[in-house]
Chains A and B, each alone.
Chain A
Amino acid sequence: MSNHDKLRELIIDTFLLDPSEYSLDLARESVDTWDSLGIVSMAVGVHETFGYHFTPEEATGIERVSDIVRVLESKGISFAA
């Protein structure tokens, strides 16, 4: 499974989304379950899936799914197709 697929699965499971709602442009403000507890769940899931611990600043600074990709790529986790 590619890292994109892993992230897609993680976001859908964490925020209890319908798969059709997922996109890299998906914004925090448009997801009810992406609240402060959702940020905690997402950070836990990112650690389990990609082995990287978000700092609190990173976790709260994420506004879109694409921001997760950007942070993880900056830590050497590749999302290249």
Chain B
Amino acid sequence: MARPDVLSLDELAAALRAQPGEAYLWSLPRFAARAQQRLSVPAVPSLDDLPEKARVLIVLGGGARIDEAKLWRRDVRPGLRLIAIPSLWGSGAEASPVVALDRDGKKRIELDDALLPDARCVWPELAEDLPEWRAREACGDAWSHAVEGFLSPLGGEGLRAEIAQLLRSMIALPLGRDAAWFEASAAACAAQARAGVGLVHGIAHAIEGPLARDLRPDERAFGHARLCSLFLAPVLALNRELSPKFDDFTAAHGVDGAAVLAVADALFDRTSYRRTLGVLEANWRSVLLDPCSRTNSALVRPQHLTFFTEERFR
């Protein structure tokens, strides 16, 4: 599978200086001034404002913004060179040919090699003032990609061996702010794109929209990364009850399964989890029909809802 070139910020800045006038920046507003200064490129407020003469688009932001740019480049300006700078790890959008975007309250998911950015650039300082909870949930997103890719029924032994190596390195990382997560997250997302993910993502895709509509004014949003963090431990428990794959695969590939389960437990928050259960119950059929649930490592059946609502994973 093709992979984007990897550039440091200095390398990107030098490349842009060598071809002045060709590149434009589409950035999260809070990083725009900093990026314009560092890269010496003009910023556009929206993709539709990109001049015809542009040859390079630099997108700086989280997974949703990068995915929007990937889709737009493929559909509107396929000749454009796309360089992605993630403002946060977790989604791995900068390294993946997949987009997962909210459309009319539902997730639109596409896999297409033409969606892959041409290059990605790591700018670790962007995460320096990230709230700790946000950094931790982003780790949960990366962990869910890696674990579900590792267990996927669509992955072969070669890919599992590759993800096993990644899992061993992730176990050594803290659940929180650490620039090493940019690389780990990109690797996890690129790997799962070759196999698919599972029920953690099926649940997150199916209930994120309904939860947003159900949110009280004083509540923090249940975004994708938060939902992945909340459901990784319960889903792993269900998978292990149904199938020996987790234990077999971790043992066969030298991954410390107990350490992986400990990470999942550390990401779990019971109060937040319980807040999602009514919405999970109301949308369980959507969970079952989600493409990710249908490539889970164990068959997800209608009656498994009670495993979650009765918290049978305790």
Residue picked from B288, B291, B294, B296, most chain A C-beta under 10 Å = B294
Chain A interface residue number, banded: 10 to 19
Q: Mark B146-162, 1 if CB is under 8 A from A, else 0.
A: 00000001100000000
Which of A10, A16, A37, A44 contacts B297 (CB under 8 A)?
A44
The complex places the Cα of A44 from the Cα of B155 at a distance, in Å, of: 13
Complex partner residue of A13 from B154, B285, B299, CB under 8 angstroms: B299
Q: Are B288 and A16 in contact (CB under 8 A)?
A: yes
Residue B295 at the chain A interface, CB threshold 8 Å: yes
| Residues of chain A within 8 A of B301, CB atoms compared | 13-14
| Beta-carbon contact of A41 and B285 below 8 Å | no
Q: A16 to B289, Cβ gap below 8 A?
A: yes
Within the complex, the shortest CB–CB distance from B173 to chain A, in Å, comes to 31
**Is A16 within 8 A of B294, CB to CB?**
no
Report the separation of the CA atoms of residues A45 and B304 in the bound assembly, to the nearest whole angstrom. Answer: 14
The interface centre, meaning the residue of A14, A16, A44 with most chain B CB atoms within 10 A of its CB, is A44
- Chain B, residues 229-256, CB within 8 Å of chain A (1/0): the string is 0000000000000110000000000000
Alpha-carbon distance A39/B243, docked complex (angstroms): 18
Asked if A27 is at the interface (CB within 8 A of a chain B CB), the reply is no
Q: How many residues of B contact A (CB 8 A)?
A: 18
- Chain B residues with Cβ below 8 Å from A45 are 299
Q: Which A residues are in CB contact (< 8 Å) with B300?
A: 41
Q: Give complex CA distance A4, B5 in Å.
A: 53
Per-residue 0/1 for A8-49: is the Cβ within 8 Å of any B Cβ (1 yes, 0 no)?
A: 001001101000000000000000010001101101110010
With A13-B301, A16-B302, A48-B242 already in contact, the answer to whether A38 and B153 are too (CB < 8 A) is: no
In the complex where A16-B285, A16-B289, A33-B289 touch, is A41 in contact with B294 (Cβ < 8 A)?
Answer: yes
The residue from B154, B242, B285, B294 contacting A38, defined by CB atoms under 8 A apart: B294
**A48 close to B289 (CB less than 8 A):** no
CA distance in complex: A5, B255 (Å): 37
A40 near B288 with CB under 8 A, answer no
Q: Is the Cβ of A37 less than 8 Å from the Cβ of B298?
A: no
Interface of chain A: mostly helix, strand, loop or mixed: helix
Q: Is the CB of A48 within 8 A of B299?
A: yes
Question: Nearest-CB distance from A31 to chain B (Å)?
Answer: 13
Main secondary structure of the interface of B (DSSP, over half): loop
Restricting to B177-212, which residues have a CB under 8 Å from any CB of A? Answer: none
Find chain B residues with CB under 8 A from A37 CB.
Answer: 291, 294-295
CB distance from A57 to the nearest CB of B (A): 16
Note all chain A residues with C-beta closer than 8 A to B285: 16
Task: Assess whether B153 is in contact with A40, with CB atoms less than 8 Å apart.
Answer: yes
Output the least CB separation between A70 and chain B (Å): 21
Residue of A nearest to B153 (CB): A44
Write the B278-314 contact mask toward A (1 if CB under 8 angstroms, else 0).
Answer: 0000000100110100111111111100000000000
Other-chain contact of A48, B243, B302, B303 (Cβ < 8 Å): B243
Q: B296, B298, B301, B303 — which one has the most chain A CB atoms within 10 A of its CB?
A: B301
Contact B302 A44 (CB under 8 A): no
User: CB-nearest residue of chain A relative to B290?
Assistant: A37
Cα distance, A33 to B294, chains bound together (Å) = 10
A sample of 22 cross-chain residue pairs with beta-carbon separation below 8 angstroms, ordered by A number, consists of: A10-B299, A13-B299, A13-B301, A13-B303, A14-B301, A16-B288, A33-B289, A37-B291, A37-B295, A40-B153, A40-B295, A41-B294, A41-B295, A41-B299, A43-B153, A44-B153, A44-B296, A44-B297, A44-B298, A45-B299, A48-B243, A48-B299
In addition to A40-B294, A44-B153, 8 A-B residue pairs with Cβ atoms within 8 Å of each other are A10-B299, A13-B299, A16-B288, A33-B289, A37-B291, A37-B294, A43-B153, A44-B299
